[in-house]
């Protein structure tokens, strides 16, 4: 559930938690650093992993709950799906993936 199959385990000091939004009346996933007591939206396992060419984080009102990604070259708007987690990017970092059909 926390992406361990693709990114490995979370660092020991982090845990996946839900953060409540009063505005949206719903929960969003966040990462709690038990050492610092801070919450962050960015997955700590992706710290230091650059965004693919053309991609950037877009400023938006809900930044404390999710990151918005856009590609300035293709005009693609990925919303909150992190382009570092697409098939080609995962493979380029050595993640072994296998395609299969669900029936």
pTM tops 0.95: no
Average pLDDT on 78-89 reads 91
Is 85 within the bounds of a domain? Answer: yes
CA distance 80 to 62: 11
CA 69 vs. chain centroid, Å, equals 10
Q: Decide if 81 contacts 68 (C-beta within 8 A).
A: no
Q: Please list the alpha-helical segments (H only) found in the chain.
A: 4-7, 87-92
Is 17 within the bounds of a domain? Answer: yes
Is 100 within the bounds of a domain? Answer: no
- pLDDT (0 to 100) of residue 50: 96
How many domains does one find in the chain?
A: 1
CA distance 79 to 63: 12
> Quick one: residue 95, left, alpha or beta (phi over 0 = left, psi -120 to 50 = alpha)?
beta
- Average pLDDT of the residues of the chain: 90
Task: Name the residue range of residue 45's domain.
Answer: 4-92
In tens, the pLDDT along 31-42 reads 999 999 999 999
In tens, the pLDDT along 26-68 reads 888 899 999 999 999 999 999 999 999 999 999 988 878 889 9
Is 36 within the bounds of a domain? Answer: yes
Is 56 within the bounds of a domain? Answer: yes
Is 97 within the bounds of a domain? Answer: no
- pLDDT (0 to 100) of residue 91: 94
């Amino acid at each position: 559930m926390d992406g361990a199959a693709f990114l490995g385990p979370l660092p020991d000091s982090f845990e996946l938690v839900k953060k409540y939004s009063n505005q949206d009346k719903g929960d969003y996933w966040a990462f709690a650093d038990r050492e610092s007591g801070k919450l962050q939206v960015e997955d700590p396992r992706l710290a230091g992993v650059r965004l693919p060419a053309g991609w950037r984080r877009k400023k938006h009102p809900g930044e404390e709950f999710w990151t918005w990604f856009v590609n300035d070259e293709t005009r693609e708007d990925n919303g909150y799906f992190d382009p570092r987690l697409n098939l080609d990017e995962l493979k380029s970092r050595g993640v072994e993936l296998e395609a299969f059909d669900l029936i």
